[in-house]
Amino acid sequence: MSLEGELTRLRALEAEDVDLLYVWENDPAVWGVSGTLAPFSRHTLRRFLDEQRFDLYAARQLRLVVETLDGRAVGLVDLFEFEPVDLRAGIGILTGMTPGRMMWIILLVAVVITFLISSYTGIGKGVRFLSDKNAKLYMGLMLFVILFGPTSYILNNATQAFGFHIEHFFTQSTYLSGFDGEMWPTWWTINYWSWMIAYAPLMGIFLAKIARGRTLREFTIYNFLLPGLFGIVWFGIFGSSAIFYETNGGGIYQSMQELGTESAVFAFFKNMPISAVLDVVFLFTAFLSIVTLCDSMTTTISSLSINAKNAAVAEPPAKIKIFWGITVSLVCFVNLATASTVGNVSGIDATKQLAISTAFPLMFVMILILISGVLMLKNYHKYDTVDHPENSVVDKDLICDFDEDAIM
């Protein structure tokens, strides 16, 4: 009898499965159908694994692991209360996807398809539509948490945290834990620096592209002040709520230890009303965030790839955007498909390392851009083609056509 199908196979329990069983057996969400009344210890589960050495007739129970063909456990099949005389047995099936290479690839395919469709329709349609809905979802989540969460604690703690952050801004932004040897602040401080440097050139070009027809005041308010203020409020609300729930038995840290850091947000929502709905809304919101980011980057790279007078403001051809969207996505595919087979580096860690290695040479480019910007401000009359066209040294063929009334 074959225990392998087209997508999955069944295998016996191994001693290494104790952590997997510990997570699944102690999930209250399945206790209602499993008959479990209390948590299982790892010691108890190890004894259970030892008993699995006996055959079905002796133990009267058989549990098998459901795994994908690449060896990733996704569920359990349990035969229990086996009665050979009566040919009777109960059967329980537990299924659920655990994070792995195939899941990441499936999510990546969904993101790529969505942002390619959005990018194909253009900035004024797909990108604008998704960005608008994404912003409203974020504001809705934030409003829900402050209304149905620990409101008083949020207001007090967020206000105090904001003052502390302003006072210690430079200290916290450059903290690398050089004396006590902690790797977490080192890794994440450098990681955020790298992401900011890697995204800065393309993001700057994209913001300039969508800012056509806006004044400098509008550009500063809508692209710097309001997003920064939103970030402060968002982290103040969610961070304060998470601290409150954790210090009152919310189980967020325990979930992170057992299921990984990515489970923290779902453990957080379990402390709130309609947590299942919040999980779905958050996943969809995060999905749209990734899509809109990829969309803007693809549009920017495509704009740099065309040779046109109005390339800075013109919409790149759809075939160019599709080409760059697929090309960038292939880098992620290679990362996810090969990272777990090369040493002990996961796909996410490989992406972080790629960002760091890419950001280092870009840092010198940004320094040159900064110097160039300062020189242009000092000699603005040479580059002002509107108020000082007689002194301008800018090639007129490089100047984009625009409506002066649009920037009044």
Whether residue 314 sits in one domain with residue 224: yes
**Spatial CA neighbour of 190 closest among 360, 390, 341:** 360
H-helix segments, 211-274: 216-220, 226-247, 252-259, 264-269
* Range of 5-19, 158-172, 381-395 with top mean pLDDT: 158-172
Residue scoring higher pLDDT (362 or 178): 362
Residues 81 and 177 in one domain: no
HSE at residue 270, side-chain half, CA atoms within 13 A, is 15
Across the strands, what pairs with 76?
65, 94
Of 95, 128, 159, which residue constitutes the final position of a domain? Answer: 95
- pLDDT for 182-223, tens place per residue? 666 666 677 777 777 877 888 888 888 777 778 888 888 988
The average pLDDT across 58-75 equals: 78
390 located within any domain: no
Quick one: CA torsion of 348, 354, 360, 366, rounded to 10 degrees? Answer: -80
- Cα–Cα distance for residue pair 361/197, rounded to 1 Å: 10
pLDDT category of residue 389 using cuts at 50, 70 and 90: low
**Cβ-based neighbour number of residue 241 at 10 Å:** 24
Instruction: Flag whether pLDDT at 84 surpasses 60.
Output: yes
Q: What pLDDT sits at residue 82? A: 72
Domain assignment present for residue 379? The answer is no
**75 in a structural domain:** yes
> Residues 212-239: what's their mean pLDDT?
88
Q: What is the pLDDT of residue 407?
A: 35
Sign of CA dihedral 396, 401, 404, 406: negative
Range of the domain at 25: 8-95
For position 181, what pLDDT does the model report? 62
CA 64 to chain centre: 33
Three-state SS at 317: coil
Domain count for the chain, please give it. Answer: 2
| Most confidently predicted of 13-27, 176-190, 284-298 | 284-298
